Amino acid sequence: MASVGDAAASEDQRATLADGASRRSFAWLGVAPFFAFALLFLIGPTVYLVFGAFQDPTGALTLQNIFDLFTPQIMAAYQISIEVSLASALFGALFGFFIAYAIVHGNLPTWVRPTVVTFSGVASNFAGIPLAFAFLATLGRLGLVTLFFRHALGINIYSYGFNLLSFSGLTITYLYFQIPLMVLIIAPALDGMKREWREAASVLGASRGQYWRMVALPVLAPSLLGCFLLLFANSFGAVATAYALTGSSLNIVPILLYAQIRGDVLYNPNLGYALAFGMIVITGCTNLLYLWLRARAERWQR
């Protein structure tokens, strides 16, 4: 009797496993479009760029394109790109953190947070030619805000050295999508800050400044650093906004890359692939460090 029961139980287990395997196999169909999209538009082009960076126009393998990355013009382009990315990431992280803190812990009306989060979701994806046109229409030489300052207040911001088609202008333009992105990614970390921590610090006699210096900031540090790195990678890889706004007036890597691949004067596709390869290395290292910091932050906030 026991053997018959065991055989029946094992048969039920095999049937259950078969049903589970069948369900899992059909479940893969749901994520198949994602993997197909990633393969066609992310992995495939990346592999093509990497191979192209190590080839000459005839298709032969070479390291010359990599050596050319260290020429003064290209190194200057990387330097300006890194400086713009650092500036926009720093100010975006700073202002975004204060906005996120206000909507999470600022005791504001309940409608404020969903409104800000909804706007942030839209603004963080608003880039390219529409964003460049919006800033030209607002802060250009004949922009709405520029004319308002000139005629209503008698202030010509361009006579004080401001130029939208410059380092500072591009940084300000990037802030339009950097600040909302910071709000979206730091708000969950602020939600994880337990009220009991502040109450315990207050009971022990800690001031507000001591609480932030000894409790809140150490806990938030991995999240803040990770967000900063993500903002850096986000701005470093922006191409359409920089090209539409400044054209060739600012020597940054995305514009130089575009000139090498599509231009008539600097046409050298393989050098363009090498420039893209350098950008992939920088943004890849940045994103890996971000993922590591995010894992540490999640471990702290469990």
Domain assignment present for 87:
yes
Q: pLDDT, tens digit, for every residue of 51-63?
A: 999 998 888 899 9
Q: Are residues 164 and 215 in the same domain?
A: yes
247 backbone φψ class: left, alpha, beta (φ>0; ψ -120 to 50): left
**Mean pLDDT score across all residues of the chain:** 84
- Domain assignment present for residue 58? The answer is no
Residues 213 and 281 in one domain: yes
Question: What is each CA distance from 21 to 14, 16, 29, in whole angstroms?
Answer: 10, 9, 13
CB 101 within 8 A of CB 190: yes
Instruction: Tell whether 111 and 174 lie within a shared domain.
Output: yes
86: CB partners within 8 A, 6+ apart: 232
Best CA proximity match to 288, nearest among 222, 229, 238, 231 = 229
pLDDT at 254 over 90: no
Instruction: Look at residue 223 and tell me if it is in a domain.
Output: yes
Assign 161 a pLDDT band (cuts: 50, 70, 90). Answer: confident
**Count of structural domains, the chain:** 2
pLDDT at 268: 82
Mark whether 185 and 280 lie in a shared domain: yes
Three-state secondary structure call for residue 107: coil
CATH at residue 281: 1.10.3720.10
C-alpha distances out from residue 9 to 5, 17, 18, 21, 37, Å: 6, 12, 14, 18, 43
Are residues 98 and 41 part of one domain? no
Is 62 contained in some domain?
A: no
Instruction: Report yes or no on whether pTM surpasses 0.85.
Output: no
89 & 34 share domain: no
- Does some domain include residue 273? yes
Residues 164, 275 within the same domain: yes
Q: Tell me: the pLDDT tens digits for 91-149?
A: 999 999 999 999 998 889 999 999 999 999 999 988 888 898 999 999 988 889 999 99
Are residues 97 and 221 in contact, defined by beta-carbon separation less than 8 angstroms?
A: no
Give pLDDT, residue 12.
Answer: 57
41 with 96, same domain: the answer is no
Q: How far is CA 179 from CA 97, 173, 293, in A?
A: 8, 11, 20
| Residue 61 is assigned to a structural domain of this protein | no
> What integer is the mean pLDDT of 252-271?
79
pLDDT at 292: 85
Same domain, 265 and 190: yes
Under the banding of pLDDT at 50, 70 and 90, the label for residue 261 is confident
Task: Please indicate, yes or no, if residue 198 is contained in any of the structural domains.
Answer: yes
| Same domain, residue pair 150 and 262 | yes
In a domain, 118, yes or no: yes
113 and 256 housed in the same domain? yes
pLDDT at position 273 over 80: yes
**What pLDDT does 63 receive?**
92
Domain span including residue 7 = 1-53
Tell me the per-residue pLDDT of 38-92, one tens digit each, with 9 for 90 and over.
898 888 888 998 999 999 888 889 999 999 999 998 999 999 999 999 999 999 9
Q: 154: closest CA among 162, 146, 163?
A: 146
Does 11 share its domain with 82?
no
Which of 10, 25, 53 corresponds to the end of one domain?
53
- Cα(20)–Cα(244) distance, rounded to whole angstroms? 52
Q: What does the pLDDT look like over 11-31, one tens digit per residue?
A: 656 655 555 555 556 777 788
